[in-house]
Amino acid sequence: MSDRPVLIHLEHVSKSFGNSLVLDDLDLTICKNEFVTLLGPSGCGKTTTLRIIGGFERPDSGRVIFQGEDITGVPANKRPINTVFQKYALFPHMTVEENVAFGLRIRKKSREYIREKIDYALKLVNLEGFEKRMPKSLSGGQQQRVAIARAIVNEPEVLLLDEPLGALDLKLRQEMQYELIRMKNELGITFIYVTHDQEEALTMSDNVVVMNQGYIQQEGSPQKIYDEPENAFVADFIGDSNIIRSTMVRDRLVNILGIEFECVDTGFGENRPVDVVIRPEDIVLAPEREGALNGEVTDVIFKGVHYEMCIMTGDFEWIVHSTRRSEPGSGVSISVDPFDIQIMNIPESEDEEAVKLDI
Amino acid sequence: MTSEKKGWGLSFPFILWSVGFTLIPLAVITRYAFTDPDGGLTLDNVLAMGNRINGQAFLVSLLVAFICTLLCVLLAYPMVMAIRRLNLSSSAFILIFLILPMWMNFILRILAWQMILSDNGILNHFLTILGLPKVFIANTWLAVIIGVTYDYFPYMMLPIYTAVSAIEKDITEAARDLGAGTLGVFTRVIFPLSLPGLFSGITMVFVPSMTSFAVADILGGGKTQLIGNIIEQEFMRSSEMNLGSGLSISLMIFMLITLPVTVGRSGKEEGSRDI
Amino acid sequence: MRDRAVNFITRFYLLLIFLFLYSPIAVLMVLSFNDSRSRVVWGGFTLKWYERMFTSPHITDALVTTLALAFFASLLAVLIGFPASFGICMLRRSGRSVMMTLVNIPLLDADIVTGISMMLFFMRFMELSFSSVLIAHTVFCIPYVILALMPRVEAVDWTPYESALDLGATQPYAFLRMVMPQLYSGIISGFFMSLTMSMDDFAITYFTKGAGVNTLSTMIYGEIRKGIKPELYALSTVIFMAVLILLLAVNVATRKKGGETGEGRAY
């Protein structure tokens, strides 16, 4: 977590729609000036969480605390929070300028103030000169920028972004990621970002909240989430991984597929079953019999930066990334640096067990 | 260009039908309007709209049509908003709700209003039970207005409803997010976006309201004469074909002058008038 | 609290509109069970008007005319309007707007003007008869078919059609199997709107009908001074209930078939 002051606190928030429980006793703290990403597959409750913060949904139970005040019952139009909607939601009957001025006109700001703010906001999103255009005549990326400008002119304390880049193509998406980081730094406000794209989450965030089935699975910096996933769901959802049911022999020693590996984790007890995560790029390939585990290459795909290979050792299939190609059918040997072996507890509750099914 | 040709080809039966049974009849009525019974050219029939009796009926019709259209609008918007608020998203049910009354015979429906509104009718019966004074609106222009509004309300409601239900929830949420209250969301977002529907509603209600002679006949007790009643009598009672046509044409000319503003605007926003 | 109050008011308002639209219908239904011929006095409950509904040849003639008109006018309207909705969608802007004007004329004209102009036309070139009413009804039904179909035609997904051609289907076969299914609901709603408008019409029928041809509406209008036969209340009630049940059944069926989509844009 960060040392910044707390801005938003969701306390024991639950929400269901009909019979399905979307959020179950959720606790979440968001700090001032943070870029927080809610990450998870569709249906995990991330958008509902965002809508509760925005004031579009009221939780069935629990409270929303904003700067120390309970705002659970405050409607969206009275919150110092603005939203950038997934499908832009621009007002189709208004020009770009009128769209951006919408919130300011409602607050009855002076003409000069509004003029100044429009200029500033359109400059910030690189859309100077588009004032008189209608939303329909803009590209998806431009519409997205108008949506952002429309939200930030109101000087919100928090900007909520609901998969704002989802509808853009890959290249534009990458550009917008940098733009968003730049805007966030320039504005100095809190961004809460919802996405199912783990790359987006890792690129932009100060803090990532991985959610699944209405629960928070893990919370932390992108590095921590990537390097030290706390359970199999997070490990599997963030990037490719090899997840192997293994036995913790004792502190700093784990038995993976019958071979003992040194590792750096402690405190899992002795001879206890654990899950081990090893990232594909952390596996070191050596000629046959020179590494720890021997296997055979079954498949090779060229991925541009590296080759992705499938290697069978016994009946476990490894995914390995390497810049050097090994021929299918050839024998290789696998070894792993102790620092790259991540040990995780095996989930106990049924809910968490269910998560593992789609691995 | 082949698709253009194909387009005209497929439309051909319709074009033939329209020319034969819409445009030529309009030409025939125009010819009647500008001739006297002996076939000589004259403007008298068309200008007869200006005489005292016809002119008065015309002004009454205009007033009735204006009030009815306004009432339809004032009834329709709260209803559309109510549907939106209660999340009654099944447009099939709303369509059925509005169209079903049309399956009860039109003349009988108007007669039923006569029974409701008559001096010893159902409405007064209920008012007496409630201890309220009776109202005497049978055979007045007020009864005509109630009848016409009743008859044309669905034609106002449907296009407005279609336009409003096409507004995505995102858009109204965005307005709320930016600080607009319920009223602000309506005046700044929903109403402006419903305008194409409103315009087509107006064109579908205003024009027929001026001419619903059967409603005026039954509910107005012969005391409220709409321009439709006058035209009907010229044809069906006095057999004054030329005069009747003249009045019809001058009515059409009036509409052509006043309505293009609204029709033109609703035409621009395509697809707004699918009912 | 405030939310509840607003919800209550909205529900109450919908109830008022419901009363406005349906109270005349309720009145007629009640009258169909009234033993007295009077329109004001309740003379006790009876089913005799339902028994006598079909005994008067006068009424059965008008009923048959009304139903036949509605059915054949709607059928003709679909036969003419269906190709036209495709045709109009293929046209460029200028052609399209000309055609849309043509489509809209019968809707925008006062029905009295439409009726009279056709009456004059028929008197001159044909004669007033059943067919003249049929033609007139078809004229004002076509726009409803075209306006119901055009949005669907524009939204047709042509990829299944193209892949069917690619897989060796003939054009008519591919059209029938891949495009038509996307249009059935549009055709049905256009046909149903036509039926409704034809059944509901009075003015155009009034002017274009020949002597001796009567629909229920023109017959009742002609008999107002003589007094309305209570059998007609019974008949109208039966028609109304039949359509109500049919519509509800269709709606429930499509709902079950399509499943609850949340969007619910069923029509």
- pLDDT-wise least confident of A19-33, B247-261, C109-123: B247-261
Q: Does C160 touch chain B (CB under 8 A)?
A: no
Q: Do the beta carbons of residue A193 and residue A224 sit within 8 Å?
A: no
In a domain, A233, yes or no: no
Q: Among A182, A199, A227, which residue terminates a domain?
A: A227
Percent of chain A with pLDDT over 70: 96
Percent of chain B with pLDDT over 70: 92
Buried b (16+ CB within 10 A) or exposed e, C189-202: bbbbbbbbbbbbbb
In a domain, A236, yes or no: no
Q: Do the beta carbons of residue C62 and residue C215 sit within 8 Å?
A: yes
* Residues counted in chain A: 359
What is the Cα–Cα distance from C231 to B263, expressed in whole angstroms? 43
Interface ipTM above 0.90 = no
- Shared domain for A188 and A71, answered yes or no, is yes
State the Cα angle at B250 between B248 and B253, rounded to 5°: 110
Which of C238, C224, C246, C219 has its CA nearest to residue C28? C238
Q: What is the CATH number of the domain that holds A259?
A: 2.40.50.140
Are C90 and B100 an interchain contact pair (Cβ–Cβ within 8 Å)?
no
Mean pLDDT along residues B151-173 = 92
Kind and range of the H or E run holding A298 = strand A293-302
In a domain, A354, yes or no: no
Mean pLDDT along residues A190-200 = 91
Tokens 């004209």, located at residue: C109
Q: Identify the closest residue of chain A to B182 by CA–CA distance.
A: A77
Superfamily of domain C58-211: MetI-like (1.10.3720.10)
Mutating which of A78, A84, A93, A152 best tests the B interface, going by the most B Cβ atoms within 10 A?
A: A93
In a domain, B38, yes or no: no
Which of C183, C177, C193 has its CA nearest to residue C142? C193
pLDDT number for residue B89: 60
Number of domains in chain B: 1
DSSP output for A224-288: HHHHS-SSHHHHHHSS--EEEEEEEEETTEEEETTEEEE-S---S-SSEEEEEEE-GGGEEEEET
In a domain, A316, yes or no: yes
B170, B189, B192 member nearest A87 (Cβ): B170
Would you say residue B260 has pLDDT above 50?
A: yes
Are C217 and B120 an interchain contact pair (Cβ–Cβ within 8 Å)?
no
What is the Cα–Cα distance from A229 to C233, expressed in whole angstroms? 75
pLDDT number for residue C261: 38
Specify the pairing of strand A293-302 against strand A307-313: antiparallel
Are B106 and C201 an interchain contact pair (Cβ–Cβ within 8 Å)?
yes
What is the Cα–Cα distance from C255 to C263, expressed in whole angstroms? 12
Q: Identify the closest residue of chain B to A160 by CA–CA distance.
A: B177
- For residue A56, list chain B residues with Cβ-Cβ distance below 8 A: 173, 176-177
In a domain, A1, yes or no: no
Q: Which token pair is A338?
A: 């102790």
- Shared domain for A67 and A164, answered yes or no, is yes
In a domain, A335, yes or no: yes
Q: Do the beta carbons of residue A50 and residue A209 sit within 8 Å?
A: no
Q: How many CB atoms lie within 10 A of CB A301?
A: 9
Q: Do the beta carbons of residue C143 and residue C103 sit within 8 Å?
A: yes
Instruction: Measure in Å the smallest separation between the Cα of C250 and chain B Cα atoms.
Output: 10
Instruction: Measure in Å the smallest separation between the Cα of A91 and chain B Cα atoms.
Output: 6
Are B90 and C201 an interchain contact pair (Cβ–Cβ within 8 Å)?
no
Q: What is the dihedral of CA A181, A183, A185, A189, to 10 degrees?
A: -110
Instruction: Measure in Å the smallest separation between the Cα of C199 and chain B Cα atoms.
Output: 7
Q: Which token pair is A22?
A: 């979307």
- Shared domain for A73 and A138, answered yes or no, is yes
**Residues 234-263, chain C, touching B (beta carbon < 8 A):** 236-237, 239-240, 243-244, 247-248, 251, 254, 263
What is the Cα–Cα distance from B275 to B270, expressed in whole angstroms? 13
Q: State the pLDDT confidence band at B43, using cuts at 50, 70 and 90.
A: confident
AA identity, residue C89: C
Q: Do the beta carbons of residue A275 and residue A313 sit within 8 Å?
A: no
Mean pLDDT along residues B189-198 = 94
Q: Do the beta carbons of residue C151 and residue C189 sit within 8 Å?
A: no
Are A151 and B177 an interchain contact pair (Cβ–Cβ within 8 Å)?
yes
What is the Cα–Cα distance from C129 to A243, expressed in whole angstroms? 84
- Shared domain for A266 and A314, answered yes or no, is yes
A276: containing domain = 241-347
B32, B98, B251 member nearest C113 (Cβ): B251
Tokens 């049929």, located at residue: C134
Q: Which residues of chain C have pLDDT under 70?
A: 1, 40, 257-267
pLDDT number for residue A27: 92
3-state class (DSSP) for residue B272 = coil
Cα dist from B162 to C92, C160, C200, whole Å = 25, 29, 22
- For residue C266, list chain B residues with Cβ-Cβ distance below 8 A: 90-92
Query: What is the per-residue pLDDT across A279-334, written as a single tens digit (0 to 9) for each?
Result: 999 999 888 888 888 899 999 999 888 999 999 988 889 999 998 888 888 889 99
Q: Identify the closest residue of chain A to B166 by CA–CA distance.
A: A92
Are A56 and B168 an interchain contact pair (Cβ–Cβ within 8 Å)?
no
- Shared domain for A51 and A150, answered yes or no, is yes
Q: Among A201, A227, A253, which residue terminates a domain?
A: A227
Mutating which of C18, C38, C120, C257 best tests the B interface, going by the most B Cβ atoms within 10 A?
A: C120
C27, C90, C102 member nearest B6 (Cβ): C90
- Shared domain for A184 and A259, answered yes or no, is no
Would you say residue A50 has pLDDT above 50?
A: yes
Crossing angle for the helix pair B106-117 and B122-129, nearest 10 degrees?
A: 30
Give residues with Cβ within 8 angstroms of A73, minimum separation 6: A58
Which of C70, C101, C16 has its CA nearest to residue C199? C70
Would you say residue A240 has pLDDT above 60?
A: yes
Tokens 């035409």, located at residue: B267
B176, B179, B189 member nearest A91 (Cβ): B189
Q: Which token pair is A180?
A: 């968003």
Q: Does A220 touch chain B (CB under 8 A)?
A: no
Cβ pairs bridging A and B (under 8 Å)? 62
**CA B126 centroid distance within chain:** 30
- For residue C106, list chain B residues with Cβ-Cβ distance below 8 A: 22
What is the Cα–Cα distance from C114 to B248, expressed in whole angstroms? 10
Q: Identify the closest residue of chain B to C4 by CA–CA distance.
A: B86
Would you say residue B38 has pLDDT above 90?
A: no
Are C13 and B12 an interchain contact pair (Cβ–Cβ within 8 Å)?
no
Are B245 and C95 an interchain contact pair (Cβ–Cβ within 8 Å)?
no
- For residue B176, list chain A residues with Cβ-Cβ distance below 8 A: 56, 75-77
More confident residue, C266 or B54: B54
DSSP output for C27-95: HHHHHHTBSSS-SSS---B--HHHHHTTT-HHHHHHHHHHHHHHHHHHHHHHHHHHHHHHHHHHS-HHH
Q: Does B2 touch chain C (CB under 8 A)?
A: no
Q: Do the beta carbons of residue B215 and residue B222 sit within 8 Å?
A: no
What is the Cα–Cα distance from A145 to A166, expressed in whole angstroms? 13
Instruction: Measure in Å the smallest separation between the Cα of B195 and chain A Cα atoms.
Output: 10
Q: What residues form DSSP beta bridges with A261?
A: A254
Which of C21, C31, C45 has its CA nearest to residue C231? C31
Are B174 and A91 an interchain contact pair (Cβ–Cβ within 8 Å)?
yes
Cα dist from B242 to A2, A50, B23, B236, C71, whole Å = 89, 71, 18, 12, 34
Are B102 and C112 an interchain contact pair (Cβ–Cβ within 8 Å)?
no
pLDDT number for residue B262: 52
pLDDT number for residue B83: 87
pLDDT number for residue A348: 59
Q: What residues form DSSP beta bridges with A38?
A: A194, A209
Per-range mean pLDDT, top range of A163-172, A263-272, A339-348, C140-149:
C140-149
- Shared domain for A320 and A186, answered yes or no, is no
Q: Identify the closest residue of chain B to C242 by CA–CA distance.
A: B103
In a domain, B260, yes or no: no
Are B107 and C14 an interchain contact pair (Cβ–Cβ within 8 Å)?
no
Q: Do the beta carbons of residue C109 and residue B207 sit within 8 Å?
A: yes
Q: Does A156 touch chain B (CB under 8 A)?
A: no
- For residue A91, list chain B residues with Cβ-Cβ distance below 8 A: 171, 174-175, 189
Would you say residue A347 has pLDDT above 70?
A: no
Q: What is the CATH number of the domain that holds B232?
A: 1.10.3720.10
What is the Cα–Cα distance from A337 to B201, expressed in whole angstroms? 74
Mean pLDDT along residues B254-266 = 65
Query: In the 8-state DSSP scheme, what is residue A194?
Result: E
Contact partners of A by the rule of 3+ C-beta pairs under 8 A?
B
Q: Identify the closest residue of chain B to C147 by CA–CA distance.
A: B274
Buried b (16+ CB within 10 A) or exposed e, A102-138: bbbbbeebeeeebeebbeebbebbebeebeeeebeeb
pLDDT number for residue A326: 87
Cβ pairs bridging B and C (under 8 Å)? 261
Number of domains in chain A: 2
**Residues 140-169, chain B, touching C (beta carbon < 8 A):** 150, 153, 165
B60: containing domain = 53-239
Q: Do the beta carbons of residue B200 and residue A117 sit within 8 Å?
A: no
More confident residue, A54 or C224: A54
Q: Do the beta carbons of residue A35 and residue A181 sit within 8 Å?
A: yes
Are B177 and A77 an interchain contact pair (Cβ–Cβ within 8 Å)?
yes
pLDDT number for residue B267: 43
Q: Do the beta carbons of residue C218 and residue C224 sit within 8 Å?
A: no
- Shared domain for A170 and A250, answered yes or no, is no
- Shared domain for A87 and A212, answered yes or no, is yes
Average of per-residue pLDDT values in chain B: 87
Average of per-residue pLDDT values in chain C: 87
- If phi > 0 it is left, if psi is from -120 to 50 it is alpha, else beta; for residue A132 that is alpha
Are A76 and B192 an interchain contact pair (Cβ–Cβ within 8 Å)?
no
Which of B111, B212, B220, B117 has its CA nearest to residue C227? B111
pLDDT number for residue C264: 32
Q: Residue B168: phi, psi to the nearest 5? A: -70, 150
Mutating which of A51, A85, A153, A158 best tests the B interface, going by the most B Cβ atoms within 10 A?
A: A85
What is the Cα–Cα distance from A65 to A53, expressed in whole angstroms? 9
Would you say residue A354 has pLDDT above 90?
A: no
Q: Does A82 touch chain B (CB under 8 A)?
A: yes
Instruction: Measure in Å the smallest separation between the Cα of B215 and chain C Cα atoms.
Output: 11
Average of per-residue pLDDT values in chain A: 88
Count helices and strands (H / E) in chain B.
Answer: 15, 0
Which of B99, A49, A93 has its CA nearest to residue C199? B99
Would you say residue B148 has pLDDT above 90?
A: yes
Tokens 């306006």, located at residue: C147
Q: State the pLDDT confidence band at A172, using cuts at 50, 70 and 90.
A: confident
Mutating which of A86, A106, A161, A192 best tests the B interface, going by the most B Cβ atoms within 10 A?
A: A106
B174, B179, B180 member nearest A89 (Cβ): B174
Tokens 């499908």, located at residue: A87
**Residues 35-74, chain B, touching C (beta carbon < 8 A):** none
3-state class (DSSP) for residue A69 = strand
What is the Cα–Cα distance from A314 to A305, expressed in whole angstroms? 28
